[in-house]
Amino acid sequence: MPRTIWSGAISFGLVTVPIHIQSATEDHSIHFHQYHLEDMGRVRYRKVCELEDREVSDAEIGKGYEYAKDQVIAIRDEDLENLPLPTAKAIEILGFLPWESIEPIQIGEGYYLAPDGQVAAKPYKLLREALARTERVGVAKYALRGRERLGLLRVRDEAIVLHTMRWPDEIRDPTELLPPPVDVPEEEIEGALSLMEMMSRDDLDDPEFQDSYTEAIAKVIEAKREHKPMPQAPEPEQPGRVLDLMAALTESVEKAKASRGEPTAKKQPAKKAAAKKASGRRARSA
């Protein structure tokens, strides 16, 4: 069972829902440690006090805020647990918004909200049903890990999910990153739409959406452990220079059709295709 990260309550008007916050995701990545390559001894980081020049234990370490060069304010965990905030032990819902009104770049890590005992079952189900029927999400404030945060509550199956959110003023304006003004012909837009249609999926249940990197790392580790030849990386396709965007879109659509086993258009010889294109232009000008 996932470990409880935070315990408190959802504040929904005058309705209170006691809950536990639990992680909604798992990390399946392969992690490495640092070693001294000469003798493979483990390399560890030691916590040393700069004034006493000695290693200190975790029990001796606490938080501090450097108010000035010669003044550090010690902050205890109890100080943070008893912050003068209404959100210190509550997820306070501020309002309900349409899902499409939320800027996705603001949305972060997801957590499951589990009802805290039988007394929380009915109000939990009440909030879950209200969110599902209105197809809205709740936006809330809460305090976690030393700071007040903005959160988003939504429904996933029978559970309520809490997503951390960035504050609006933390999102950078992308204006300076935009390309210079350029005209895109309607023909090319239609080509892009055709390619998107061919690449459409109903869900992520496909081998393409699996973590190939972790699988490759596991193969490398196994090969070295068994003293076998290292697995060979496939030759990457060299991206060509895009000179004709429409031609690139058309070829991409044909490749997508072939990968799905659908019939593809027969490729015309270059001279014949050019003649047909020129003929079409003359007909339009006439």
Residue 133 CA to its chain's centroid (Å): 26
Are residue 63 and residue 86 in the same domain, yes or no? Answer: no
Are residue 164 and residue 192 in the same domain, yes or no? Answer: no
The answer to pTM > 0.95 is: no
Instruction: Locate all alpha helices (DSSP H) within the chain, ordered by sequence.
Output: 77-81, 121-134, 186-198, 212-225, 245-259, 270-285
Structure confidence at residue 150 (pLDDT): 93
pLDDT digits (tens, 9 = 90+) for 95-132: 999 999 999 999 999 999 999 989 899 999 999 999 99
pLDDT digits (tens, 9 = 90+) for 36-94: 999 999 999 999 999 999 999 999 999 999 999 889 999 887 777 666 666 667 899 99
Q: Cβ distance 65 to 76 under 8 Å?
A: no
Are residue 16 and residue 99 in the same domain, yes or no? Answer: yes
Are residue 155 and residue 19 in the same domain, yes or no? Answer: yes
How many Cα atoms occupy the beta-carbon half-sphere of 1 within 13 Å? 5
- Per-state percent for the chain, helix, strand, coil, to nearest 5: 35, 30, 35
Structure confidence at residue 26 (pLDDT): 86
Q: Cβ distance 90 to 142 under 8 Å?
A: yes
Where residue 13 sits, what CATH number does that domain have? 2.40.290.10
Amino acid at 11: S
Residue 283 host element (H or E): helix 270-285
Residue 252 CA to its chain's centroid (Å): 28
Q: 216 lies in a domain?
A: yes
> What span, in angstroms and rounded, lies between the C-alpha atoms of 64 and 73?
5
